[in-house]
Amino acid sequence: MTNIKKKLGDILIEAGTINFAQLQEALRVQRQTGERLGRVLVNLGYVTEQDIANVLEVQLGISQIKLGNILLVPDIINLIPENLIRQHRVVPIKKEGNKITVAMVDPLNVVVLDDLQIATGCLIEPVIATEKEIDGAIQKLFGFQDLIQQAIREFEVLPSANVPAYDLDEIPDDITEEAPTVRIVNSLIQQAVRERASDIHFDPHAEEVRVRYRIDGILKDMMILPRQSLASIISRIKIMGEMDIAEKRIPLDGRIQVKIAKKNIDLRVSTIPTIYGEKVVIRILDKNAVMLKLDQLGFAPDILEKYRKLIKRAYGMILITGPTGSGKTTTLYSTLSELISPEKNIITIEDPVEYVIDKVNQIRVNQKAGLTFAVGLRAILRQDPDIIMVGEVRDSETAGIAVRAATTGHMVFSTLHTNDASGALPRLVDMGVEPFLVASSVIAVVAQRLV
């Protein structure tokens, strides 16, 4: 690490990020407001938080981290008193020997470094994080996590992990919200919605239960729960999803509807048995999420122009491919939103309906009632549709009907799970669709990834 006693303003001028006049103006404002120089420079629009972090990393050799990608361990957090964490806006990351690595907004502040060293009795190794990331981590640590940790402490006096903590099936519908299981599950779901996660994973292990969120397509560790909490948490989720809490040997599926921040959120629940207990994944579907326009999805300009021409054809099939969570359904919804007009009868069949689109007739698959993709698609063809959207081509029957619809005067949009665009056509053939029908119906295949 180079000289950490340099002043931030001098470093930014040396890097060419700001000029002398801008620094003088920022110092004048700082004397009036008492705010940190970095915050003043950001408020004045001279730099961004990321600009400052990048310059400090290069000029001082101080590592920069993304707090959102790091699992914050309670034992490490507790090394520094909460009042110092809040006051100095720091987050302890790890401890190696007598050295604590601490994420800071301003690693040049020697007063903060001295305070932390005195409070912990350890050497302090600063790393850089943006103010937004630091504030978000502190909120997560001492807001959401407080509730979780209190509930965990209550679990520690309950029976061993071999026996469910209590039978949630026997608890009446007006169960108190003070039950630790309820608080843990509710808090994890609420936090996932706030962070715009698409999935929540509960992964059982020999000594712990790991909770992860999938945010922007990437799984991130959120917290570690005690092993003895697993049985009650799984039972609580199953009760909410109207699933059989006694069945632990086979995969189960369920659905939950919750209201968070005045928004109706649909949750799809899936469980599978593992050697350490049942693993649960909850898919979060916010029907009221803001719909993106096609030009906000990241299409290259030339590709977007071609795609817009293709979607306005009178008939044919367009397939969106890519891995799970890559935004295929979002692309379909954005496409339909652009095609809405009084002259078009647009009908969709989905499992489930992830977004509600005005002026579009949306059908939800209901396997128990016999309403499958294939059955629904046959019914749609009798409804005089112009445009059909099939949530996913999963089987040969659905593939065959969709292809025939595309060759008989309908525009069909759907998704396929293939790794690239070229794999979509052989996939349809593998499903039993005749090659000549594939050739005459499919007009475009779009492959996408989150980047």
Nearest to 111 by CA among 28, 186, 36: 36
Q: Are 77 and 92 a contacting pair, CB within 8 Å?
A: yes
- Look at the alpha carbons of 83, 86, 90, 91 in this order and tell me if their dihedral is positive or negative: positive
- Give the range among 115-129, 180-194, 304-318, 366-380 with minimum mean pLDDT: 180-194
Nearest to 253 by CA among 166, 368, 171: 368
- How high is the pLDDT of residue 383? 94
- How high is the pLDDT of residue 137? 81
- How high is the pLDDT of residue 289? 66
- How high is the pLDDT of residue 87? 83
Q: Are 280 and 269 a contacting pair, CB within 8 Å?
A: yes
Q: Are 385 and 345 a contacting pair, CB within 8 Å?
A: yes
- The H or E element containing residue 388 is strand 387-390
- How high is the pLDDT of residue 170? 37
Q: Can you tell me whether residue 65 is helix, strand or coil? A: coil
- How high is the pLDDT of residue 157? 42
Nearest to 156 by CA among 237, 75, 233, 227: 227
- How high is the pLDDT of residue 343? 92
Q: Per-residue pLDDT for 130 more than 90?
A: no
Which of 29-38, 39-48, 312-321 has the largest mean confidence?
Answer: 312-321
- The H or E element containing residue 151 is helix 145-155
Q: Is 69 exposed, middle or buried (0-12, 13-18, 19+ CB in 10 A)?
A: exposed
Q: Per-residue pLDDT for 171 more than 60?
A: no
- How high is the pLDDT of residue 42? 83
- Mind listing the pLDDT tens digit for each residue in 371-389? 988 899 999 999 999 999 9
Domains of the chain: 8-134 (3.30.300.160), 180-286 (3.30.450.90), 294-447 (3.40.50.300)
Average pLDDT over residues 157-183: 44
Residue bearing the bigger pLDDT, 354 or 213:
213
Q: Per-residue pLDDT for 258 more than 50?
A: yes
Q: pLDDT over 90 for what percent of the chain? A: 30
Does a cis peptide bond (omega within 30 degrees of 0) precede residue 172?
A: no
- How high is the pLDDT of residue 426? 93
Q: Can you tell me whether residue 343 is helix, strand or coil? A: coil
- How high is the pLDDT of residue 2? 45
Q: Are 240 and 256 a contacting pair, CB within 8 Å?
A: yes
DSSP strand pairing (411-416 vs 316-321) = parallel
DSSP 98-130: TEEEEEES-TT-HHHHHHHHHHHSSEEEEEE--
- How high is the pLDDT of residue 162? 35
Strand partners, 303: none
As a whole number of angstroms, the distance between CA 428 and CA 404 comes to 13
Q: Are 386 and 287 a contacting pair, CB within 8 Å?
A: no
Q: Is 423 exposed, middle or buried (0-12, 13-18, 19+ CB in 10 A)?
A: middle
- Mean pLDDT, the chain, rounded, equals 83
Q: Retrieve residue 210's tokens.
A: 């790991």
Q: Are 165 and 229 a contacting pair, CB within 8 Å?
A: yes
Total Cβ atoms within 10 A of residue 54: 16
- Mind listing the pLDDT tens digit for each residue in 53-86? 888 777 777 888 888 777 777 778 888 888 888 8
Backbone angles phi, psi at 267, to 5 degrees: -120, 130
